Structure 1
């Protein structure tokens, strides 16, 4: 069994900071579960362009207010506690946070923990730990 708290992750290599987000990665590929599970905060007043070309992501918002806009069709979906979305088509999107958004995120394939968004909003596919 794997047992881990958020406090176990804070301040470690699994606490990854980007310019508009902070991803506290609770499960990684090395844990052998076949997916990554992360507790992520999107900073208030920010907009982040994201395209997970190499990963599928499902997100459940547990706190905050914001919106997600899918690039292909321009649809805007409100985000608040209790909302889930899944990027099942590697959807290019904008993530906007009105207040800090706290999101529980699942990635497949799993992350190694070193991934950050490149200039195209993509996490690289890293195949070795």
Structure 2
């Protein structure tokens, strides 16, 4: 059994500032759960290019308002509190935050905890044991 509080992560190496977002990695690869869980703040008025070529992600919005634009078809998906979106096809997208958004993000394969987007919006795969 493991219990993690947000306060356990704040100010540690598992609180990652990506400029447009701050991700607090609650469950990571080392926890051996087969997925990772992040509590992420998306800063108001930002647009972030993301393309998880190596990961699938489900995102549950618990606060705020914005939109996801899938770049393959330029379709805009409004997102608000109490909605989940799943990037089930490694969708390249833009995340636009109208207001500050708070998200719970689940990744498969799990993140190791320190990842940031590269120039293409991709997280690398951590193949270490």
TM range (shorter): over 0.9
Could you list the runs of 5+ residues in structure 1 that have no partner in the other structure? none
Q: Distance in 2 between matches of 1:127 and 1:10?
A: 26
Say if 2:59 is the partner of 1:53: no
Q: Distance in 2 between matches of 1:36 and 1:70?
A: 23
- 2:72 equivalent in structure 1: 72
User: Normalising to structure 1: TM-score of the pair?
Assistant: 0.98
> In the comparison of the two structures, how many residue pairs are matched?
129
Alpha-carbon RMSD? 0.7
Q: Distance in 2 between matches of 1:90 and 1:112?
A: 19
Report SS of the residue matched to 2:4: coil
Pairing 1:10-49 to 2, within 5 Å after superposition: 10-49=10-49
Runs of 4+ with deviation above 6 angstroms: none
Could you list the runs of 5+ residues in structure 2 that have no partner in the other structure? none
Q: What's the offset of the Cα at 1:19?
A: 1.2
- 2:89 equivalent in structure 1: 89
Asked if 2 retains the 8 angstrom alpha-carbon contact of 1:112 and 1:128, the reply is no
Q: Distance in 2 between matches of 1:31 and 1:124?
A: 18
User: Normalising to structure 2: TM-score of the pair?
Assistant: 0.98
